[in-house]
């Protein structure tokens, strides 16, 4: 099966399943969705740990499953009065990692020789993907949360699909201009952005969200841009580690990070725009 068919089949199965969880299981402040997000965070964090070990030749001090505390704290924050729980959890985990390094680094053959690598590894693995993913769970703070989740995922996935289709059909002459991902084309990026923006406006009107047409256009453009950046960031990470895919979770799309890359960078921007647009 070709790469495109793999991607299409995975998307046609995965997106409806995700939307089913969002719209049919909204109980307990979308607990089911929070569990799904936490599972994918753990899978993505495990892949990041593998990449860090390959590239930096060190093992982070904080076990990868600690990263799951960030999306969990985002859900807890949505059902309690602890509005800054995610940030407090992140700071707490960072302090733990730094404290561990103070004592563990002293026991190295050459004390603290790898400390910078380990501090960077711990900090990055907590931020990417765990902390960034937690922002999509924080959308629970807004009204019509199911519809907002639908808007977010439909826009991000449509950008991915249409960028691939436009690039494959019309973008051969504009490939290779972006070194981070030479197979991607400027035409593909443009097609993804236009499609994402149009779908954003259509989804807002269909779901009757409290957003104006201008705000819908801004959200579509922002999600398309941030999704593209997320895809390129992950390409840079994989190229640096000399791996083709982050893992083997889904056929034709690679690992958890290969599926999450566009969502990871889009979630914080989406949350920020909702804070601005929805009073």
Widest distance between CA atoms in the chain:
63
Residue range 3-28, pLDDT digits in tens:
566 666 667 777 888 989 999 999 99
Nearest of 179, 171, 194, 64 to residue 122 by alpha carbon: 64
Among residues of the chain, what percentage have pLDDT more than 90? 65
Residue range 83-115, pLDDT digits in tens:
889 999 999 999 999 999 999 888 888 889 999
Q: How far apart are CA 44 and CA 264, in angstroms?
A: 10
Cut 0.75: pTM above it: yes
Residues comprising the chain, all counted = 279
Contacts of 112 (CB under 8 A, 6+ apart): 105, 106
Q: How far apart are CA 219 and CA 164, in angstroms?
A: 21
Q: How far apart are CA 240 and CA 242, in angstroms?
A: 5
Residue range 211-263, pLDDT digits in tens:
999 999 999 999 999 999 999 999 999 988 888 878 777 766 778 898 889 99
Structure-token pair, residue 107: 């026991």
């Amino acid at each position: 099966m070709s790469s495109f068919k793999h991607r299409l089949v995975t998307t046609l199965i995965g997106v409806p399943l995700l939307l089913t969880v969002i719209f049919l299981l909204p109980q307990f402040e979308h607990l089911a969705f929070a569990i799904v997000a936490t599972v994918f965070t753990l899978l993505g964090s495990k892949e990041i740990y593998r990449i860090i070990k390959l590239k930096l030749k060190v093992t982070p001090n904080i076990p990868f499953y600690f990263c799951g505390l960030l999306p969990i704290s985002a859900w807890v924050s949505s059902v309690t009065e602890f509005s800054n729980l995610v940030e407090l959890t992140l700071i707490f985990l960072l302090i733990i990692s730094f404290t561990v390094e103070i004592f563990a680094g002293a026991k190295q053959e050459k004390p603290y020789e790898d400390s910078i690598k380990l501090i960077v590894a711990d900090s990055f693995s907590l931020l990417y993907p765990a902390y960034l993913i937690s922002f999509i769970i924080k959308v629970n703070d807004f009204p019509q949360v199911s519809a907002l989740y639908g808007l977010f995922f439909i826009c991000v996935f449509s950008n991915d699909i249409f960028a691939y289709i436009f690039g494959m059909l019309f973008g051969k002459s504009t490939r290779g201009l972006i070194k981070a991902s030479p197979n991607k084309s400027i035409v593909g990026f443009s097609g993804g952005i236009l499609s994402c923006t149009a779908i954003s406006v259509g989804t807002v009107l269909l779901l009757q969200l409290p957003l104006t047409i201008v705000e819908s256009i801004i959200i579509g453009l922002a999600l398309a841009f941030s999704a593209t950046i997320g895809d390129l960031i992950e390409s840079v990470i994989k190229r640096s580690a000399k791996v083709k895919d982050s893992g083997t979770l889904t056929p034709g799309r690679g690992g958890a990070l290969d599926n999450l890359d566009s969502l990871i960078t889009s979630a914080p921007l989406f949350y920020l725009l909702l804070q601005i647009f929805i009073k």
